[in-house]
Chain A
Amino acid sequence: MPELAISRIFPFDTISPRIGKQRQLEALKSRILPAIQQDIASIVRDELGEFDILAMMDYLNQLFQAIQALPRSMVRSDLEQQVRFFVLVVRNRLDDSDGMVPLRQLCENISRVFGFVPELNADVPLPDAQFLPTQFATSVTEWANIIWQNPGRNSVDERIHFFGRRTSTIRKDSVRLHLLELDRNPANSEEALSYADADFYNLGDLQVDHLQPSDDIIHRQLELIAAMNIDSIFRDKMLEQGGGKGYFMSQDGRIFGSKRFFMEYHNCVGNLWFLNPNEGTPKSNQDPVEWLEKHPRFSERFLVSLGGKDAVDKRSILFTYAGELLADRAKNWFHATYAQEIAVGQFLGAHVSQPFLQQAAAVDTGGGGHVRFMARTAAAAAIAGDEHLGRGASSDDSSASIGSAAEINPANLVVMAGILESEREVLGAVVDRTTRGYKSAAKRRRVGDAMPAADDVDDADEDESGEEHGARPS
């Protein structure tokens, strides 16, 4: 009976949280990785029945717990991936006998924590044909014959990007055209819905965002390819699933992903939506489920509607829920939950913002933000349900009133001062903190300066995050 190589790697060394942590982790990785890879190869070669299943469960469990105890790091991430491969080859060789039930259960438990080797999605919807490049059919046929090994958005040779539809004068991303068709404001064709705040924004201000980040998608695609080259059972399954799609190429006995495979997932409209830029930029590469949970428009409510975080199915490259792509699910939920607000946004666009913007364009070059703010003020009054709307949107009188809503004048200053007064406690704390920070920084930098001695700089020149306030070198 063959002995598992991972049986020789225990116990793990304790990793010091401070000095030389990275070096220790790398040393641990160089010891563990070859052992796991050796065992994976043995299982694939010799079949599972050759091994002592109870011993395998014991070692697999120890390995799982030991890796879980490691600090979050690239090393841990690499080891988790190897364990996913290990579990994959074991799971694919389990038979239905009762003796295998505990091992099957252990594999499930590990996968719940470390994840699954991703599989192909059943469906990867692309933009409607009318928005695709005119030579798209020819292009994808060519792409199916081009091997991509390390694609990325910043790669020179294997640059992943949105494909576009070219007209006689300009080229537009196909995905953007498709999303516009779905989420354009019917009352104002220059605006579309942002899924970050249930409001309509000018088209030029909206970002096309991947709910599941593109880097994560590429990473999962590469893991799928790697697993195909490890496990022949998995390879055959994926070749069958991807049959005729032109996603894979075989060369010298190895499987590679095609340019088509990567480009189609990147351009999948089921994972894309519009966000206004101040939401899209900080979102960056966050895990989509965590982002949804933290975002006030989705939060716990959305996850509860799914039945909890664990209800999100992460077995495919793109996350799904009940067979539906997660972003599509989120979009549908968003429309149902914020239907009233979205309708109000459409109303504002049609009857208030747009007329005001047009009117203001002639007289105000100070920026759309101001006009938008003013338009909202009057719009809210209009929504109160009186007949002034029609007149308000076009009359000179209304324009004058709107134009003064944020003007620096005694009346507005009184309103603003009232707000500052109601926030006195919060603002007082901020001014206290920042002035102390400023004094502290000034004191350190201006040796011998005549500035008055600080009475309270010793205890709080840094906040909890350790960030200093008020230090502003020129």
Chain B
Amino acid sequence: MFKRPTSGTFFGRSQASRSRPEDRLLLEALRQEYTPVISAKLAGGSDVTPSFDDIAGAFDAFVEELCKTGEWDRLLQKYLERKIAAERARFNPAAGK
């Protein structure tokens, strides 16, 4: 009925269109942080555990919404900036002192 993830992981369709390492890193971080949140929201306070398909489907919807609204790129940009700051500190420890 709803698209089943393709490879035993979530985000089947999203993953297909975004395969850069930084995308995968963000996806993994989101999966770790937000799968429990989504699962709880799908359960809606009941004792019934949502199905794998439903969690995956809702997660995909979440990721697609982030992409559509530009949040995805904004998060990656923030990551890039943080890594740049770290690199700067590594190469040029005097900076900022």
A interface residues with partner B (beta carbon < 8 Å)? 366-367, 369-370, 373, 376-378, 380-382, 384-386, 388, 392, 405-408, 412-413, 415-420, 422-423, 426-428, 430-439, 442, 445-446, 450-456, 469-474
Contact: A470 with B57, CB < 8 Å?
yes
Instruction: Give the size of the chain B interface in residues (CB under 8 angstroms).
Output: 54
Given A450-B48, A451-B50, A470-B58, check contact A417 B32 (CB 8 Å): yes
Closest 6 CB pairs of A and B: A470-B61, A381-B87, A416-B29, A406-B22, A380-B84, A452-B46
B interface residues with partner A (beta carbon < 8 Å)? 1-4, 13, 19-22, 24-26, 28-30, 32-34, 37-38, 41-46, 48, 50-51, 54, 57-58, 60-62, 64-66, 69, 71, 75, 78-80, 82-84, 86-88, 90-92, 95
B58 CB contacts on chain A under 8 angstroms: 434-435, 438-439, 470
Chain B residue at minimum C-beta to C-beta distance from A278:
B73
Other A-B pairs, 19, CB within 8 Å; known A408-B21, A408-B25: A370-B21, A377-B80, A380-B84, A381-B88, A381-B90, A388-B91, A406-B21, A413-B32, A422-B78, A423-B78, A430-B71, A452-B42, A452-B45, A452-B48, A452-B50, A455-B45, A472-B3, A472-B13, A472-B60
| Contacting residue for B62 out of A367, A430, A455, A474, CB 8 A | A430
Contact: A407 with B83, CB < 8 Å?
no
Q: List 30 A-B contacts (CB under 8 A).
A: A366-B19, A373-B20, A377-B84, A381-B84, A406-B20, A408-B24, A413-B29, A415-B82, A415-B86, A416-B25, A416-B79, A417-B33, A418-B82, A420-B29, A422-B78, A428-B37, A430-B62, A435-B38, A436-B41, A439-B41, A439-B42, A451-B42, A451-B51, A452-B48, A452-B50, A453-B46, A455-B45, A472-B2, A474-B1, A474-B2
Q: Which of A369, A415, A434, A470 has the most CB of B within 10 A?
A: A434
